[in-house]
Amino acid sequence: MSRIGKAPIDLPKGVEISISDKNLVTVKGPKGTLEQAVDPAISLKKDGTVVTLERPSDAKPHRAKHGLYRALIANMVKGVTDGFVIEQELVGVGYRATAKGQQLQLSLGFSHTVTLVLPPQIKVAAAQEKGKNPIIRLESVDKQLIGQVAAKLRALRKPEPYKGKGVRFVNEVVRRKAGKAAGK
């Protein structure tokens, strides 16, 4: 059984955490500020540079929320210190990506280009090297938001199992299927 909730969260230098009386946690660091509302059943304690979470009982909902909020706060601390990066590649003939500010224009084999307007918390860059697949690089301090945007991007053209064409994460392994058997 996992004991994620019991693990303390160490705060690196330059990171400040404040806990309001309504269980609103605010984490400030060199890369930005994040907020998260925590269930009132979970109590937070700050001792110097260590934050611990405690649950009132061993009931199943309390155990689940204990680990959940510990993981969310730990991700917030990591986000404001280091940030999160997700890279995706476009595999397919003629697939292209161009980033202009907060807009990402994708050419994914449809009759039209797909334009995504990204939230201001996300930095986007598109790189195209000759002989290689185009790569989209997303950077943000918010792990939930960057994951949601990356999933939305991938959902535009999921990798198909026969040729492997589509939007995939870098180093993602796509299970391939054998094609149609040749006729007699």
Q: Which domains does the chain have, with CATH numbers?
A: 4-81 (3.90.930.12), 84-169 (3.90.930.12)
Q: Give residue 12's pLDDT.
A: 92
The parts of the chain modelled with pLDDT lower than 50 are 1
Instruction: Convert the pLDDT of each residue in 76-126 to its tens digit.
Output: 999 999 999 999 999 999 999 999 999 999 999 999 999 999 999 999 999
Q: Give residue 1's pLDDT.
A: 41
Longest dimension (CA), the chain: 76
Distance CA 35, CA 12 (A): 18
Distance CA 104, CA 89 (A): 14
pTM (2 decimals)? 0.87
Q: Give residue 4's pLDDT.
A: 87
